[in-house]
Chain A
Amino acid sequence: MAAVRADEIPVPRGRPRPVARLRTWLDRESVLGPVLVTPAMLLLVLLVAYPFVMALYFSLSNAFIGRPSHFIGIRNFVHLWDSDAFRQTFQNAFVFTGIAVAFKVVLGIILALLLNEQLWFKRMIRGAVLLPWVIPTALSTLGWWWMFNSLYSVVNWTGLALGLMDPPGPNWLGQRYYAMAAVIIVNVWRGLPFFAITILAGLVAIPKEIYEAAHADGAGANARFWHITLPMLKPVLAVVVLFSTIFTFSDFNIVYVLTHGGPINSTHLFATLSRMLVIDVGRLGEGAAVSLYLFPLLVFVVWAQLRFVRKHAN
């Protein structure tokens, strides 16, 4: 049934006053719709799209803070490959993202399965699990910085006390592989709640009947997990992994606070390297080029999400 829209309501007899006419005109979908989205659109055009075009321009120029710039084509993107710092960063970004996301997926599924059981303090446990995700990352990473301190590390103290480490224990933030491990640990710590809670929402949505039927057919717990739970979770997992990949890849806070990219660039990510190039050295063009290396991944994730969302909506 067609709805009666406000602009189809008969206008009272006589010449309507201008204010009333403006009101009816404004009430049309084709007018009101654009009016309502204009503030958001202006914001996105002026403060997202325009800066993005600027970033493109900077990356194609030899811009240096406080100096006029010239167009130099894709030379920045090519030159970066001559720099050890950039090649190291490129490798770090994939190692960091790959390992962190893998841990978050596996631990997230385990945690969600546990949270999906009958629990005594359900609300409190959920609250505790989600806490790392709500606290300001820069501040909680300070706590981790202290926990990894070279002299007073509580991690090492515990490891030594339990006999898991040889004295004096690793210098977490001063050795390259340990520093990378530390950065990954903090990222997993902070990202795990998002995975667990979202996967839990996916678990809750799986109809109980399927499990009952499988149980009646004699499927064990293992079979039920691999043949029902995991396939049914696939859509949720896909969204979470895509989402997390982009935000892990572009992480800034954890690396900046914990290691500043060191030791010797071994934990730099695109965001921290580009900030260092621009703020500390002043090379705006190169810095912009570094951060634009994030862009292809972003395009892929957006494409995958849109495809996925569309498929899901139909």
Chain B
Amino acid sequence: MTVARRPLMRRVAIHLGLLPFLIFALFPFYHMTLTSLKQDRELYDRFAVPLIITQGPTLEHYTKLIWDTEFLTWTKNSLMVTILATAISVVIGTIAAYALARMRFFGVGAFGTGIFVTYLVPTSLLFLPLAQVVNWIGLADSKWALVLTYPTFLVPFCTWLLMGYFRTVPKEVEECAMVDGATRVQALLRIVLPIAIPGLVCAILFAFTLSWNEFIYALTFTSSSDQITASVGVTSELIRGDIYFWGSLMAGAVLGSVPIVILYVFFLDYYVSGLTAGAVK
């Protein structure tokens, strides 16, 4: 019996060991959601137990957020910027990655290194001069500035990720098509891309997540209530003066995360594989 029991004990011990990590990872989300559902009098009762709701849940913070603030506009802005920036970046990244992975031409090595270097440049290094560039182009305080600048970090990322995927597609498949008279572009569109669909899904998911989560550019390049994104709106417009509406603030943080959580639940495996590919490949 001991032989059968030992692995079970070990398994239980492993799960117990994981417990603190899971609590650490999930508690902030639990607490955020809980706070957003509490009534004000319980929320600001210093003697109430903060870990549960005892006086009944309420949606009042959510209705206040949606009707009394510009939250829906911010979310719309976020969606527009994210979708456009993702689409632009994935297209530019795909063709660049294909060229880098498959072709030999003048300057290909230098360009590959350039992509890798910009992949490592943090956004907080360049946001000041980029703000000046955005001003000159005439996009100051406009969400279009974000559509224009987000590709600066998305394209290197997508290119790097997709290069890895394209290299795994066997060259012979493509060469067969070209012997049959297809051009390179046709071979890319009809042969390589369909095989590399998991990579494309990964690139789209990560580009979407990275631009939805972007904060420093959005905070610096936009400020009017009708131009800002959800993250900036919740962190700056809901905190004006010294009175914080914690319930609505947490409701905003929860709702602002919803699109990413939905994607995440459906595409978890892609997130896991993309995360490791981005760093290890």
Contact = CB atoms under 8 A, between A and B. Distances in A.
The prevalent SS among residues of B at the interface is: helix
A243 B279 contact: yes
B15 A43 contact: no
Contacts of A102: none
B108 A126 contact: no
Q: Find the residue from B105, B107, B264 having the highest chain A CB count within 10 A.
A: B105
Interface stretch (A71-79, A130-138, A208-216): A130-138
A106 interface: no
Interface string A241-277: 0010011001111001100000000000011001100
A55 B133 CA distance: 11
Given A44-B118, A47-B130, A142-B253, A129 B275 contact: no
A40 B183 contact: no
A200 B273 CA distance: 11
A48 B184 contact: no
Interface of A: 3-6, 9, 23, 26-27, 29-30, 32-34, 36-37, 39-41, 43-44, 47-48, 50-52, 54-55, 58, 107, 111, 114-115, 117-120, 123, 125-140, 142-144, 146-147, 149, 151-152, 154, 157-158, 189, 192-194, 197-198, 200-202, 236, 239-240, 243, 246-247, 250-253, 256-257, 270-271, 274-275, 278-279, 284, 287-288, 291-292, 294-295, 298, 301-302, 305-306, 309
6 contacts: A128-B26, A136-B257, A243-B120, A250-B124, A298-B120, A302-B117
B32 to A, nearest CB: 4
Contact of B272 (A126, A140, A146): A126
Given A5-B178, A33-B103, A139-B234, A40 B155 contact: yes
A53 to B, nearest CB: 8
B144 interface: no
Contacts of B22: 125, 128-129
B45 to A, nearest CB: 9
Contacts of B231: 136, 138-139
Interface in B236-281: 246, 249-250, 252-253, 256-257, 260-261, 264-265, 268, 271-272, 275-276, 279-280
A48 B152 contact: yes
Contact of B216 (A30, A52, A201, A253): A253
Contacts of A58: 128-129
Given A51-B126, A157-B50, 11 more contacts: A33-B108, A36-B103, A37-B96, A138-B215, A138-B235, A142-B253, A192-B24, A197-B272, A246-B122, A247-B122, A271-B125
Contacts of B252: 139, 142
A197 B276 contact: yes
Nearest to B23: A128
Contacts of A291: 124-125, 128
B250 A142 contact: yes
A151 B106 contact: no
Nearest to A47: B152
Chain B interface extent, by class: 35 or more
Interface in B81-138: 92-93, 95-96, 98-100, 103-108, 111, 113-118, 120-130, 132-133
Contacts of A257: 235
Interface string B181-212: 11111000000000000000000000001001
B280 A134 contact: no
B257 A135 contact: yes
B35 interface: yes
A207 to B, nearest CB: 17
